[in-house]
Structures are given as structure tokens and as C-alpha cells.
Amino acid sequence: MTDAIKGIFNILATPFDTALQVDVDSLRRLVDFQIDKGAHGLTILGVLGEAAKLSVEERTLVMNTVFGTVAGRVPVVVGTSHADLQTCIQLSQAAFAAGAAGVMIAPPRMADPTDDNVLTLYSRIAEQIDGAIVVQDFPPVNGVIMSPDFLARLAEAIPNARHLKLEDPPLMQKISAIRRRTDKFTIFGGLGGMFLLEELHRGASGTMTGFAFTEILIAIYDAYTTGDTDAAQRIFDHYLPLIRYENQPQINLTIRKELLRRRGAIAHGSPREPFNPIDSSSHDEITWLLQRVGISDPTQKILF
């Protein structure tokens, strides 16, 4: 089982052109951009990547484009969640054939999401693949609640399931509760990096998030994991207004893609429908926030 899945994984946005088709050129540029900013790995076709709005063919296009551009420079986790179990399995098999370090899977919406049914779902997937599974615990997407007791049971039952993407608040309390029950998971936070410092303090191994300034999260992680907690706190606290603003409910995707556009990483910032737009005042607030945290030119890499 791979140990490459740790640290700061950027959840890659899926760029679209003005006709809302996958923008392959921007996607290649975005991959290079995130690697240049120091991302330890990439997670593609997640919620931020608008995977639910893509056809299977489009998901394959995104996956192949990313792997062709990455060319082995960093590990890649591929989101393969799908309402149809067999499609999920086929997407997962294709991801590992392409070179994925792991696949990220959330349970679909289920008529009866009992612990036994969810465990059966993961077991059936694990029987068909050999690589690492990142269990995605994000109830707002699917309405499935996975308790610490259940997650420990899942880790014991499925050797492939050694990574957990945790976005079920209260995050820090749940990290501690899981840690008390099992040591088999590496745990990743999310939610835009809003609680990265606290998550690391509770025993998380990193985060998977689409925050548009990956180098900020890298700087926090590197300082914390090398024992310089004062520097980690200073960097986190300084940029927290930007982290907080970017992760606003309902419009976080739109803000992130706009920031990526301003950073020169993608040509167009519009998500696919359905999405919530941002108004002109929000555009002005983004400019104001960048000025407040000292980012005069968002196209440049931030130095610490």
C-alpha cells in the first residue's frame, strides 16, 4: 500500500472554456501551476473538480490529461465516486491503470445508509481493486453519516482503506475520536484549510483542499511538521482572512475559480451549472482581501 498520500494535496479545479466544455489547455496549465506552488500531490475529480457535472467520458479526459501533464512528478488521487457501483469500480480500475496513487470514494446517496450497507459497499469496491482507497467523509454531499466507531470498523475490515478525507464537523473532535479507536488511517482535513493548524495538532497527516494559494498551506505544513510551531501559527493567522473568505458556503467554488483565473492558472473562472455566482461587490472584496494580506500580485508565488 502506498505511503505517498500525505501532506498537502491540492484538489484540482476543472477548468471550462466559454462554452463550458473542459478546457484542456487550462487544465494542463493548472497542473503545472499547482506543482510549481509546491503541492505534495493532486486530488482530481472531487467536489471542487465538479465531477458530478461531468460525463464519464469527460472524467476520463480530465484524468488522462492530468496524468499526461504530471508525468510522475507528484502522486495523484482520483475521485471515482459515482451513484452506480459498477461505474465507480470501473472508474477506480481505470485510475489505477493510469497510475493513480489512490482513489477517493464517498458513499452515494442510499435509501438505507446503515453501517452494514456502507461497509458492504466499500467491501465490494475493495474486492475489485488493489490500490489505496481514500474514504471521503463529507455528509453534505451524500447524507451518509460515518461515526468514529464505524470508521474504525471499516479500517479494520478493509486493508485498502488506509486514508480518510474528513469533512464532517466538528472536525478536530472527530479526528481525536477516530485516533482513539484506530491507528490505521492517515487522516486529511479539508474545508478550504480553515482548520489546518488545529487538524495537524490533533494528528492529521495533511489536508486535501482546493484553496487557491497552495503555497500558503505548504508553508504552514512544513513549519509545523519540522517543529517550528511559532512560524506555522504566524503564517496561518496572517492569511486566515483570505482562507475564511474563500471558503464561504455556496460561493466557495466560484471564488476559488476566480482566484485561479486572477493567478493566471486558468483562462476562465466560470463553473458549470448549477453554481452560485458572485456579485461585483464580492469581486471588489477579493481585491481588498488580497491587499490586506499583502498579496500585491496574485500571479506570483508567495515567498515566506
Q: For 188-214, what is each residue's pLDDT tens digit? A: 999 999 999 999 999 999 999 999 999
| Position with higher pLDDT, 164 vs 141 | 164
Question: CB 92: neighbour CB atoms within 10 A?
Answer: 26
pLDDT at 3 over 90: no
Which of 263, 242, 243, 241 has the alpha carbon at shortest distance from 199?
A: 243
Cell numbers linked to 130: 488493489
Report the C-alpha dihedral over residues 156, 90, 55, 78, rounded to 10 degrees. 50
Question: Under a CB-based contact definition with an 8 Å cutoff, are residues 54 and 82 in contact?
Answer: no
State the pTM of this model.
0.96
Region 171-199: mean pLDDT is 96
pLDDT at res. 122 = 97
On average, the pLDDT of the chain sits at 96
Q: Is the pLDDT of residue 141 over 90?
A: no
Sign (positive or negative) of CA dihedral 146, 150, 152, 154: negative
| Alpha-carbon gap, residue 298 to 260, rounded angstroms | 9
Q: Residue 304: what pLDDT?
A: 85
State the residue for C-alpha cell 479494520. Answer: 156
Beta carbons of 301 and 216 less than 8 angstroms apart: no
Q: Does the pLDDT value for residue 2 go beyond 80?
A: no
Percent of the chain with pLDDT over 70: 99
Distance CA 70, CA 259 (A): 22
Q: Model confidence at 275, in pLDDT bands (50, 70, 90)?
A: very high
Residue 1 — very low, low, confident or very high, per pLDDT cuts 50/70/90? very low
Res. 173: pLDDT tops 80: yes
Residue 202: all three cell numbers together: 490533533
pLDDT higher than threshold 50 for residue 238: yes
Res 243: pLDDT:
97
What structural domains does the chain harbor?
7-240 (3.20.20.70)
The predicted model gives 126-141 an average pLDDT of 95
Q: How far is CA 271 from CA 15, 47, 176, 185, 268, in A?
A: 8, 12, 35, 33, 9
pLDDT score, position 279: 97
Residue 106 C-alpha from the chain's centroid = 12
Checking if the pLDDT of 52 tops 80, the result is: yes
Residue 237 grid coordinates? 493567522
Question: How does DSSP assign 116-173, residue by residue?
Answer: HHHHHHHHHHHTT--SEEEEEE-HHHH-----HHHHHHHHHH-TTEEEEEE--SSHHH
Distances (CA, A) of 262 to 80, 266, 268, 274, 295: 29, 8, 9, 22, 12
pLDDT at residue 269 greater than cutoff 90 = yes
pLDDT cut 90: percent of the chain above it:
96
10-37 residue pLDDT tens:
999 999 999 999 999 999 999 999 999 9
The Cα 209–Cα 189 span in angstroms is: 8
- Whole-angstrom CA distances from 292 to 54, 165, 185, 245, 279 are 36, 31, 38, 12, 20
Give, in degrees to the nearest 5, the angle at Cα 105 between 90 and 1: 85
Q: What is the pLDDT of residues 116-125, one digit of tens each?
A: 999 999 999 9
